[in-house]
Amino acid sequence: MARICIITGKARSTGCRIIRRGQSKKSGGIGTHVVKRTKRLFKPNLQRIRVLLPNGQVKRAWVAVKAIKAGLVQKIIS
């Protein structure tokens, strides 16, 4: 099962880790330059919690912490 938030639809996204070399212009150099880009993944902050669905059913699901803090999901504690 993919780790995707059932409320917001957040999933992992791709990006780059950028490596820069050189002395900055502020320090008296000629500036920094990009020398390498490495692919990486940005993963959302997901928690597996018990959720009350609209039809009254209780289910464990992956939910983004941002959705929990915003009150978009009713969390069941017991």
Structure pTM?
0.72
* Mean per-residue pLDDT over the chain, rounded: 92
The answer to whether the CB of 10 falls within 8 A of the CB of 44 is: yes
Please give the single-letter amino acid code of residue 38.
Answer: T
Show me where the domains of the chain are located: 13-70
Q: CA 23, CA 6: separation in Å to the nearest integer?
A: 46
Does the pLDDT of residue 57 top 70, yes or no? yes
What average pLDDT does the segment 25-54 reach? Answer: 94
| CATH architecture assigned to 13-70 | Roll (2.30)
